[in-house]
Amino acid sequence: MKFRTAILAAAVCGLSFPTLADIKLDLPYSAELVLVNGYEAEGNDPLTLENGENQIAFRYQDGYRENGEHKLFKSDVIIVTFEGQDSAYKLEVPKLRTAQDTQKFNKRPSVSLKDSEGSDVSFAQDKLIKSGLQFGRDYEAEIAAYNQTDKPAALQAAVAVTTLPAAVPAQTAKPAVKGQQPQGKNVAENMLNYWYEQADEATRARFKARINQQ
């Protein structure tokens, strides 16, 4: 009875009890998701992520006018890695109005991350670049390979997740978004294909020779 009375008294006084929460991330309309924590994603709906380190990859995609014509700009894939705890964040990008703006942004993307009070939040940023043909890219394999490097936005915690064989039960892998089930791709095979495509002819020849010796 005393405990119930204490709760009622706290409510009357306008007090509240702390509750555990997750990370909430709002995205601008011009941000088109490509990856969330190593898994393919799409759209720009608000994300609910687990506390701790998180990594998203997206494209800036928006229209602008040049000489009276409407044109569509689609940037390179931008990686943003940040750490948060029980808070809401907002990703912000500038409005691009001219072709010069788009070229400048694609060369050096200007991205900011704000907390619920509008203060800047520190984060690491980079681009996920693939040379050659861009059609049919395997972004999961690309980010898995990227996260095994020492590049600025690499998320080492995601390596164990994105390189798991498909036979490993899904519940052992961390979902990209809270409540979302991991995809059942054979990422190890995809990574081999990715690195083979990146290699020169001499390296490919050595790889084939080694396989034939098995």
211's tokens: 């396989």
CA angle 26, 31, 34 (to 5 degrees): 100
Output 186 or 135, whichever has higher pLDDT. 135
pLDDT, residue 175, reads: 53
pLDDT digits (tens, 9 = 90+) for 77-133: 999 999 999 999 999 999 999 999 999 999 999 999 999 999 999 999 999 998 766
pLDDT digits (tens, 9 = 90+) for 28-58: 999 999 999 999 999 999 999 999 999 999 9
Average pLDDT, the chain: 78
Within 80-186, residue ranges assigned H as helices are 99-107, 139-146, 159-162
**CA 56/CA 79 separation, integer angstroms:** 6
Domains of the chain, by residue range, sit at: 19-213
Task: Write down the residue that tokens 């990146």 correspond to.
Answer: 198
90's tokens: 């907002």
Backbone angles phi, psi at 202, to 5 degrees: -65, -45
Q: For the chain, what percent of residues have pLDDT higher than 90?
A: 55
